[in-house]
Structure 1
Amino acid sequence: MTEQGVADLEPLWRSREQRAWNWYDWANSAYYTTVLSVLFAPFMITVAGRAAGCGNSADDTCGKTVDVLGLHVAAGSLPFYLTSFATISSAFLLPVVGALVDQSSRKRVHMAAFAWSGSFFAALLFLMHGTQWQLAAVAVVISSVLGGCSLVSYYAILVDISTEEERDRVSSRGWAWGYLGGGLLLAVNLVMVLAHDAIGLDKELSVRLSLLSAALWWAGFTFVPFLRLRDHPAQDLGPGAGRLWDRSFGQLFRTLREMRGFPMTLTFLVAFLFYNDGIQTVIGVASTYGSKQLGFGDSVLIATILLIQFVAFGGALLFGRLAARYGAYRCILWGIYAWMAIVVLAMFLPRKNVVAFLLAGVAIAVVLGGTQALSRSFFSLLIPRGREGEYFALYNACERGTSWFGTFLFGVVFQVTGSYRPAIVALIVFFLLGAAFLLRLDARRGIQEAGNAVPSVV
């Protein structure tokens, strides 16, 4: 008698988990857009400036200082020092967190615990008012570090819930959901801040409520992946000695030594370090370039920020489709070439030409989501199985620990030339270096060396 086959339900389980996984991109993006990218810095400058005696203006040119652990820090520089400190701290902490994640079969629990802890500290930003900036300074550092820790577990889960063939599509959809979720809440918050009088709110209260809403959004939507994802057993990493904490540090040092045995993985990390720094810098200085060099007011800049968020949603999905046909490696290279063209064209944007500026924003948005999403999925193919947490921690450390190089170059070129136009085009060096290292990378060899199956297209 012929034995009746049993249907393989694993693809259905993976699809269900992939949809749940997308929701964490949706959840945490609200914090990074509403808080870190738009509202926190100018409001912190206002509150700290008031404490320093600068009055109620948010003008960051006020030279008066506040005391930070005995150091005299200009009120206008305070939020940038705080986020830089969080970035540097994360670069040291994340590899240890990654090593701990790899030892665990409950990555979703780690992700959610870090997320809820981070959202708690983010919610404390609501208490920033009057001249009270100290608690918010501590809160933004801790919430930023915890957010990075949650992403280590989140990225590691990608490998558990998708095959090598599915990785680009899943990562691209997650990134697209992140832009959509972050953009929707940001749009609501900007309306609330700009139209605060019409809805009967004080402007500062509207900002504080917006900061609080991002924390609640982050915490609330994290329940979706926490409840719907499954626990996956940790891979057998071989014998280890000592306590879990000792093994985590030992594993970190072994990984740094063993990276020489995965030269293609190391090559990609170096390439990512350069081109991602260029991307982050372009995004970070775009509003300064638009206001100071091109003469646009807040309304145009805000419209451009929202445009980038929503167009990037489509850009991430577009690059996911292109990767399915041409491979992630080629699409990342094409994206880098597009970034080179963008910074060159940005140098020649005419002053106060809104249409040209918005078109530049569209171009940025299309390649922004795609290059970031595919970088995440392509790197996952270069990681030895069972080491996802630690390698993604190194990936995040490269992203966070070196993201000041581009802004430093931008500032130096502006100081030398007195113009933001050569400063923006100088950023092409990061994309040139990123492309140069990527061109030295043999994608198939790297995937095979890591012990993963090579997708049909790379």
Structure 2
Amino acid sequence: MSDSGGGVHRTSHPRNSSRSNGAVMANGIMNEDDDDDIPVFSGNTGDPRDWEDDEGSFRTAPAYPDEDTRPTSQKEIYGWYSYAWASEVFAICAMGSFIPVLLEQLAREKGHILGDPSLRCKSSENMGPGGAGKGVDPGKAAVCVVEILGFDVNTASFVMYTFSLSVMFQAFVIISMSGAADHGRYRKHLLLIFACIGAISCILMLFINAQWIVTASLLAQIGNVTFGASYVLLNAFLPVMVRNHQTIRMLTMSRTNLPATASNVSLDEEDIGAEDATLLGSTPSLKTDTSSNMTPAMRLSTRISSNGIAIGYSGGVLLQILCIMIVVSSGSTTNSLQVSIFCIGLWWLLFTIPSAYTLRPRPGPPLPLEDGEKFTWITYISYSWRGLFKTIRQASKLRDVTLFLVAWFMISDGVATIASSAIVFAKTNLGMSPPQLAAIGVIMPISGVIGAFSWPRISNWAGWTVSQTILVCISLFAVIPLYGLLGLLGPVRNAGFGLTRPGEMYALAVWFGFVLGGQGGYCRSLFSELLPRGSEAAFFALYAITDKGSSVFGPTVVGVITDRWGDIRLAFWFILALLLVPLPFLYMVDVDRGKQASEDFARARESREAELAAAAREAERAQDDYTDS
């Protein structure tokens, strides 16, 4: 429908007239036609100054009812940064340090030595694996267990099971809510609701004792689920803010004066950057792509995203240091851990307030409905899951995409399992105190930032391709469980090596963070090379879901191994296999072959769409002729 004032029109495809296929999601789950719901600008706009409103701001015609086309303000961007500052503390401080320590400590306070319910467990600071004294052979160590729902569970396994369940529920919630987040007015409302619930779950930890151990686990799961969901919603604002940014609009309007062959220009997810357009993205890591071929919109998106990451990490490290001071000054008591988590929840809640006032709702397009459907939550949920399965079917047709996703499933699971089990291992096997454990939570993100900037230089210096760099990173990750397994050998253990001393954990925290800082960016870069044109956002959604969903299995298996044999160190065999098995799959990925297959896939899809559009136009002309006659 044309806008006579500015010459702007939104292209109306006959196949989208009922909106059965046309809605675009920020994560791209539902529809590979990502540009169908974004304004397309005609070449007949004339002078760009005709677009200015009374305040001198450039505005565009709405592409759908309720669309907010106001230019992105600096205040809105600050609101986006504010939530990164508010919520990242949960990942770094709460789940990364204090919640695992608190859960294991509460379980230990309630637990007993396996086989003798009358013998209570001692503090893990004075104990070896499972509850034996330091220096005891792991195979001879007593095992501390806690009764959960009638079953004796190792205190270390209890933490791993809690993490696995939270990730499983998180993936389910994120997928189910994606339709409501991308369509209608729900995005901001959901973000604030999840933020408040997550913050309150942390605050309530202050009032938990060892007798409420199951409640503590549930609160931890609620916190992790709501954090992941809210961060996904935050990422969904990014492509919208970039698309409405004044500089991008002016650039787009200047393109409208190009010749007719290039007159129809749209700012779709590909322009913004696929990983930033992905709703189901995980907590982002620093970008490593500095290609001169990046579009202005992609550069702006990368800058905002990187600033948000830096701000979030800064807030997390600052609060982590403050919490360490609280724990040290209180003598590393259980209550000091609870106070620290309370402060994390309070921080999360208070710094969400600026976001509530400065982030604009930015409603998405209406949810496309089938004939006879009504707007209900069931409709939103089923819409989201149908889109996920559709993308899976598409990915299965591309060999190299499938090979990569199989490898990525195991890689992300292995890396997540190392991260989730490290704190528990350090507490139960090495007897590290809460302040020492919290220090690990400071070291890893700092080394991660250094790694993010260092890996491109290392890769260029060594002359590695992206695939080779990923193989090197995964091999370096595998060194961590391999080194820990050396501690099972008596001579190595007696010499003080093989992850038998607290100091080694600090060195491995630097190692892990540094490698992690590069691995994530290179995996995204390789995956993006394999994707069909026009389907980037949908496939990156699947990439993120694979990342989230895989993290359920590793911690669960580690928990089962620990329950069966009483020592979490034995689970390092599984983690090592989880990192080595995907290497052949990565090696079999042929980037050139994958590019050609994705190009063929995109052309075939575009050909089918053109045929459908032509048929629809022909039917419309026939209907018009019939009406005229």
TM-score category of the 2 structures, normalised to the smaller one: 0.7 to 0.9
Q: Contact 1:176–1:314 at 8 Å: present in 2 too?
A: no
Matches within 5 A, 1:164-179: 164=273, 165-166=298-299, 167-179=301-313
Matches within 5 A, 1:210-229: 210-229=340-359
2:170 corresponds to which of 87, 90, 94: 90
Partner of 2:334: 204
Offset at residue 63 of structure 1 (A): 4.5
Whichever residue aligns with residue 203 of structure 1, its letter is T
| Unaligned ranges ≥5, structure 1 | 452-458
Whichever residue aligns with residue 174 of structure 1, its letter is G
| Shift in CA distance, 112/309, structure 1 to aligned 2, threshold 3 Å | same
Partner of 1:272: 408
Query: How many angstroms apart in 1 are the aligned matches of 2:468 and 2:361?
Result: 35
1:337 and 2:472 aligned = yes
SS in 1 for 2:212: coil
Whichever residue aligns with residue 316 of structure 2, its letter is G
Query: How many angstroms apart in 2 are the aligned matches of 1:372 and 1:186?
Result: 24
Query: How many angstroms apart in 2 are the aligned matches of 1:23 and 1:303?
Result: 25
Whichever residue aligns with residue 432 of structure 1, its letter is L
Q: Contact 1:98–1:393 at 8 Å: present in 2 too?
A: no
SS in 2 for 1:131: helix
Offset at residue 185 of structure 1 (A): 1.3
2:327 corresponds to which of 176, 193, 196: 193
Offset at residue 331 of structure 1 (A): 5.8
SS in 2 for 1:65: strand
Offset at residue 306 of structure 1 (A): 1.8
Offset at residue 215 of structure 1 (A): 0.9
Offset at residue 375 of structure 1 (A): 6.2
Partner of 1:256: 389
1:243 corresponds to which of 355, 358, 375: 375
Partner of 2:613: none
SS in 2 for 1:334: helix
Partner of 2:577: 426
Whichever residue aligns with residue 44 of structure 1, its letter is L
| Shift in CA distance, 230/48, structure 1 to aligned 2, threshold 3 Å | same
Partner of 1:74: 153
| Shift in CA distance, 342/218, structure 1 to aligned 2, threshold 3 Å | same
Query: How many angstroms apart in 2 are the aligned matches of 1:373 and 1:9?
Result: 34
| Shift in CA distance, 245/219, structure 1 to aligned 2, threshold 3 Å | same
Partner of 1:115: 195
| Shift in CA distance, 180/340, structure 1 to aligned 2, threshold 3 Å | farther
Query: How many angstroms apart in 1 are the aligned matches of 2:387 and 2:535?
Result: 14
Q: Contact 1:95–1:394 at 8 Å: present in 2 too?
A: no
SS in 1 for 2:72: helix
Q: Contact 1:259–1:266 at 8 Å: present in 2 too?
A: no
Partner of 1:65: 146
Q: Contact 1:21–1:225 at 8 Å: present in 2 too?
A: yes
| Shift in CA distance, 297/150, structure 1 to aligned 2, threshold 3 Å | closer
Query: How many angstroms apart in 2 are the aligned matches of 1:239 and 1:306?
Result: 48
Query: How many angstroms apart in 2 are the aligned matches of 1:78 and 1:421?
Result: 17
Q: Contact 2:444–2:513 at 8 Å: present in 1 too?
A: yes
SS in 2 for 1:57: coil
Query: How many angstroms apart in 2 are the aligned matches of 1:110 and 1:332?
Result: 38
Whichever residue aligns with residue 95 of structure 2, its letter is L
Offset at residue 429 of structure 1 (A): 1.9
| Shift in CA distance, 288/56, structure 1 to aligned 2, threshold 3 Å | closer
Q: Contact 1:278–1:431 at 8 Å: present in 2 too?
A: no
1:401 corresponds to which of 549, 570, 591: 549
Partner of 1:454: none
Between stretches 245-254 and 426-435, larger displacement belongs to: 426-435
1:38 and 2:97 aligned = yes
The alignment's TM-score, normalised by the length of structure 2, stands at: 0.57
Offset at residue 274 of structure 1 (A): 2.6
Q: Deviations over 1:22-76 (max 9, x none)?
A: 33333222222322232223323333443446647344545453343xx324361
2:81 corresponds to which of 9, 22, 25: 22
| Shift in CA distance, 109/82, structure 1 to aligned 2, threshold 3 Å | same
Offset at residue 172 of structure 1 (A): 3.7
Query: How many angstroms apart in 1 are the aligned matches of 2:335 and 2:568?
Result: 41
1:310 and 2:458 aligned = no
Offset at residue 125 of structure 1 (A): 1.0
2:179 corresponds to which of 85, 99, 119: 99
**How many residues were matched structurally?**
438
More helix as a share of residues: 1
Query: How many angstroms apart in 2 are the aligned matches of 1:375 and 1:58?
Result: 41
Partner of 1:125: 205
Query: How many angstroms apart in 1 are the aligned matches of 2:416 and 2:234?
Result: 21
1:146 corresponds to which of 226, 229, 241: 226
Whichever residue aligns with residue 225 of structure 1, its letter is S
Query: How many angstroms apart in 1 are the aligned matches of 2:363 and 2:583?
Result: 41
Q: Contact 1:340–1:431 at 8 Å: present in 2 too?
A: no
Offset at residue 427 of structure 1 (A): 4.0
Q: Deviations over 1:420-455 (max 9, x none)?
A: 77666434325526734765584698699599xxxx
Q: Deviations over 1:71-130 (max 9, x none)?
A: 324361433323322222233332111122122344222212111112112211111125
Whichever residue aligns with residue 364 of structure 2, its letter is A
Q: Contact 1:278–1:406 at 8 Å: present in 2 too?
A: yes
Q: Quick check: which has more Rg, 1 or 2?
A: 2
| Shift in CA distance, 245/375, structure 1 to aligned 2, threshold 3 Å | farther
Partner of 1:455: none
Offset at residue 175 of structure 1 (A): 3.1
Aligned identity (percent) is 19
Partner of 2:246: none
SS in 2 for 1:234: coil
Offset at residue 208 of structure 1 (A): 1.2
Whichever residue aligns with residue 413 of structure 2, its letter is D
Query: How many angstroms apart in 2 are the aligned matches of 1:213 and 1:434?
Result: 44
1:184 corresponds to which of 312, 318, 340: 318
Between stretches 162-171 and 346-355, larger displacement belongs to: 346-355
Offset at residue 407 of structure 1 (A): 4.5
Query: How many angstroms apart in 1 are the aligned matches of 2:475 and 2:57?
Result: 46
Partner of 1:13: 72
Q: Contact 2:190–2:230 at 8 Å: present in 1 too?
A: yes
Between stretches 254-263 and 295-304, larger displacement belongs to: 295-304
Q: Contact 1:155–1:392 at 8 Å: present in 2 too?
A: no
**RMSD of equivalent CA atoms:** 4.7
1:155 and 2:235 aligned = yes
Query: How many angstroms apart in 1 are the aligned matches of 2:307 and 2:585?
Result: 24
Matches within 5 A, 1:292-303: 297-298=432-433, 302-303=438-439
SS in 2 for 1:242: coil
Between stretches 338-347 and 174-183, larger displacement belongs to: 338-347
SS in 1 for 2:330: coil
